[in-house]
Amino acid sequence: MRRTLIVSAAVVLAAAVVVLGGVLLGDRTAPREPAGVDAAADEAELTGEGVTVEAVGTVEGTPDVLTAQLGVHVEDPSVSEAYEEAGAAASSVRDALLDAGIDEDDVQTAQLSVGPAGRPSPDEEPEGYEATTSLQADIRDLDEAGAILDDAVEAAGDHAMLRSLGFSLDDDAELADEAREAAFDEARAKAEQYAALADQSLGSLAGLSESAHAGAAPPEPVPEEEVMEDDAGGPPIEPGAEEVEVRIRATWALD
């Protein structure tokens, strides 16, 4: 998929303070915003010592890891039978994942629970018990992801649950570098504009800080009606695009 670059900037403006000859001017009523100005992106901090802006750089890339949470759910009149049957079904799912070539380090137990079925009141005897086990697996061969999920679900039989799917980038360092450059270019362009509006020129960079860049979102739950719908064994797996975002705050001196 062709990588696209999306850059958005949010320039944050606190109350303007101008120092002239050691005299601090008081707050002034802000002028009316001109038509077409986005109120969420029209702020900056301009002082007699420099201009400070915030900017965001966002880059899209194609995910290369699918994280799936697969589970089994068993109900039985006996708590021990429910627990043992759920454990056996979960082992079958794990074996199917490993047989498909997934590394053991990429398979992890995500949930294990057992208790009364339903929600009986304290004075009621439970009609049965339910046990649930979930495994989280990172699938790195996206071309085979659909087949791997099919095999894992089939291994659990009627007890199978596909709880969530999520895509991510195994290594987003290169995209983070691109987003960082985009954020810096946007910040500098805004700072130069404010310097020109103040009839001054932009000087040297006085300070810069970066917020932790945002990568992949957590896995999204899979609607129950979408699981095992397709005649070929399940819904299609499409990675789409993943965004990497970097936020910076930079200050330039004014000459």
pLDDT digits (tens, 9 = 90+) for 144-177: 999 999 999 999 999 999 989 999 999 999 999 9
Amino acid at 86: A
- Other CB atoms within 10 A of residue 158 CB: 8
Q: Give me the CATH code for the 65-168 domain, please.
A: 3.30.70.2970
- Rounded CA-CA distance 154/148 in Å is 10
pTM given for the model: 0.64
Q: What percent of the chain has pLDDT over 70?
A: 72
Of 43-57, 135-149, 191-205, 225-239, least confident by mean pLDDT is 225-239
Q: What DSSP state is assigned to residue 222?
A: P
Class of the domain covering 5-62+172-216+244-254: alpha beta
CA 202 from centre of chain? 36
Residue 82: its pLDDT value, please? 95
- Other CB atoms within 10 A of residue 216 CB: 17
Two domains, one topology: 5-62+172-216+244-254 and 65-168 = no
Instruction: Give the domain ranges of the chain.
Output: 5-62+172-216+244-254, 65-168
Q: What DSSP state is assigned to residue 17?
A: B
Average pLDDT in the chain: 78
Q: Does residue 215 surpass a pLDDT of 70?
A: no
Long-range contacts of 184-188 (CB under 8 A, 24+ apart): 184/55, 184/57, 184/248, 184/250, 185/7, 185/57, 186/7, 186/9, 186/55, 186/56, 186/57, 187/9, 187/11, 187/53, 187/54, 187/55, 187/248, 187/250, 188/250, 188/252
